[in-house]
Structure 1
């Protein structure tokens, strides 16, 4: 009996290691689901949905305080902000919404995925929540949605938080990725196999991604599954006119964030965006790539809290 008790912790450890190996390598989709659940639970995020004009709009919600709407980027989803959520929920109520064709949202190949349509989609979501004047945050393409939302409805937007926003000429007309897409139809976010997805991860992270195999596998499978719908989305979003060619001197307070290792949206675009939003604070995060809220969640949250304190003073 004593020997059995003494050996119990080792046995439990062996079983735990075996379970981790199985979930990570043998049943990666199940492992990825469990990890996603753990990340959501850490931030108190709960999934729910609204129905707007007959369309189901899935989103995550957590926290207390003033609402903050979070808008993800192209090929991403509402869980993009999971790692950062625990650092913000004591101050704000977070609403992370899935854009059309992403995450758990409906996939309609004939839908309108233009930037103007995406702005209206988020605006209707905000209105359905009963928010009259909103604080918005957006990553990459979501940063474009948030930027044009503020430009189109300045009286409805209290502030914007733009994380490597793909919305200025540096990306939309001048980047090598867009030039190659225009010439060949290929884009590093349009994934048809696991090798292409591995190259995408190398592109978006400032440093090699320390990510369990199960997550890499699940993300790749989702990207392969969504190749057609994401191709349709990019065709329409590609037509967006850079915001710096349409607007200037927008008065909405803005926190503009860029990773200095961003290989998707050139970091120089943040300076162009700062001219569009002159009442802005610019933060360059050293060593971060295209998704700093994933790579440096605590730092991003800290910078945002300081920004909100500043504009409230």
Structure 2
């Protein structure tokens, strides 16, 4: 998914990076930029107990405040939340997780990667950090995990925010859905041409990223193709929530970019009002990842939702 950079970090590093091997230089720029941004936004890296694996995280904000846990989508990582999360660290305890097999959390072929298994790791992480309940925010696959937890473990979920969430059957297929029906998974490719086809599908308003870094991201996808295929198969074997939405009683916000090519925007009409206590926000100009495409606007909508929740047990 989308990798984001600060111009300041790029400027500072480009001289040194230019002597590195292409496209490895793109990885150097990217990692340094993420480290700089996370520091500027009051977040630090730490690992946490996920039960059957150690999970890498960003953490920040006052530990005494209500917790907000952010969960990325398939093939993405915790970095996709950085510019969104900066709007929460003053008032909330923020935890951003790399799910098993993603980002800096290792891939183990012996593990399961379905929504329930990944959700159990999130709960184990919360336990290890002393968090009894949290506001959960998830994008795509992460949204499905959040909804699964809201259904199965409502006592752990103060609220659920589902951003372009997988997990229900849309009335109309997405661009990706039509490709999958023909046996073509756009996430799985063997060359940079495949990445160049896939990447524009992820966002309608992608922030600028230098070509050297995009080349590096492409090499990462290609190198991880086998493990991504395993995770995809496990995740897509998870039973959908179509028939269980009325059983979700957690306050829920459904957010969608109308230009989403990966998960059909028509799914929003299934989530909400399928979930009884549900609110809905649509962004006509955005795609699959509003928290990257317009972090300020999407964060403001989530903060407004959280601020208007009825009083409850922290």
Question: Normalised by the size of structure 1, how large is the TM-score?
Answer: 0.87
Q: Which residue of 1 aligns with 2:102?
A: 102
Mapping for residues 18-167 of structure 1, pairs under 5 Å: 19=15, 22=18, 27-53=25-51, 55-64=53-62, 65-167=65-167
Kindly name which structure, 1 or 2, has the bigger radius of gyration based on alpha carbons: 1
Structure 1 position 218, deviation (Å): 2.6
* Deviation for aligned residue 1:183: 4.8
Cα deviations across residues 241-291 of structure 1 (Å, max 9, x unaligned)? 221133324211011100011111111111211133221211111311001
Q: Distance in 2 between matches of 1:94 and 1:155?
A: 19
Shift of 1:110: 2.5
Question: How many Å apart are 1:301 and its aligned residue?
Answer: 0.8
Tell me which protein shows more helix as a share of its residues: 1
**How far, CA to CA, are the matches of 1:208 and 1:61 in structure 2?**
25
User: Within 2, Cα distance between the matches of 1:244 and 1:285?
Assistant: 23
Aligned: 1:310 with 2:308: yes
Q: CA deviation at 1:52?
A: 4.1
TM-score, normalised relative to structure 2 = 0.87
- Give the match's secondary structure for 2:180: helix
Deviation at 1:132, TM superposition (A): 1.3
* Structure 2: distance between partners of 1:73 and 1:168: 15
Runs of 4+ aligned structure 1 residues displaced above 4 Å come to 15-18, 23-26, 173-176
2:296 equivalent to 1:298: yes
Aligned 1:160-309 pairs, distance under 5 A: 160-170=160-170, 174-175=173-174, 177-178=176-177, 180-181=179-180, 183-184=182-183, 186-207=184-205, 209-309=207-307
Structure 2 residue ranges without an equivalent (≥5): 1-10
Work out whether residues 49 and 125 of structure 2, in 8 Å CA contact, stay in contact via their aligned partners in 1: no
Instruction: Tell me, yes or no, if the aligned pair for 1:191 and 1:220 is still in contact at 8 Å.
Output: no
The alignment covers a number of residue pairs equal to 297
